[in-house]
Amino acid sequence: MTEGCEACKNTNLKTTQNPFAHVPKDKTELHQFLNDLAEDSDGGEGTDEICLEKRVYYRLISGLHSSISIHICDEWLNQETGSWGPNLNCFVDRIGSHPERLQNIYFTYAVLLRAVNKIGPYLKHYEFRAENIQEKDTSHLVQDLIKSTSSCPPTFDEKIMFQGAEAQVLKQEFKEHFRNVSRIMDCVGCEKCRLWGKIQTVGLGTALKALFSYQDKSLKYDQSKKQKAHDSF
């Protein structure tokens, strides 16, 4: 894999425009840093005039972008030592000093959590074709993930979206815009950015499909149908 694009290779991330874009040196600075973030406002002006579906879309894309940036900052190439590792300056500059980006990451996480919880009953009984140890581990990891999400309180209600006269139009626009994001990821020149972009876009796209393309009852695992299919074969 290449070292990354110019933005990925730029280690001089401190900016003069953002007074919060620096790494706190001690507990006192950290406390002040967190207070400054908490006092910053969330969202822009006129958000009440935007419909729910568009607000959700914008927050998801912002959360997706921020999550990709976090993974890039976590696996950063030090140009001086040649080693890979976390870059705190990168995180603070790109995400940590922007409260709305942090909040949108949590929002995107809540949507993913709801998707896993929704398809949990199906995946719980899904039989993975485990031909080696790694695939068996995948099955165990999926079961652990489902178990952990089942104990979480409701975080996102997809049923309140795409209601009303323009529901189908909004839903189609939502799909097309997200597909455009996926296509854009294919054109990213930086291999590192494209890798994290494609992985997370596929994951979020799968979650959205589970939430908006299937009813809860259709995701219940039907053992009888599986047995009939097996007998007919």
Instruction: Kindly list the catalytic residues.
Output: 190, 193
Supply 219's token pair: 């995701």
224 contacts: CB under 8 Å, gap ≥ 6: none
Q: SS3 for 132?
A: coil
d(CA 127, CA 79): 45
Q: 86-124 burial, b for 16+ CB within 10 Å, e for fewer?
A: ebebbbbbbbbbbbbbbbbbebbeebbbbbbbbbbbbbe
Query: Scanning the structure block, which residue is given the tokens 């890979």?
Result: 84
Within a 10 A sphere around the Cβ of 177, how many other Cβ atoms? 13
Nearest to 208 by CA among 188, 178, 228: 178
CA distance 125 to 226: 11
| 28-41 as b/e: b if 16+ CB within 10 A | eeeeebeeeeeeee
Element (H, E) at 166: none
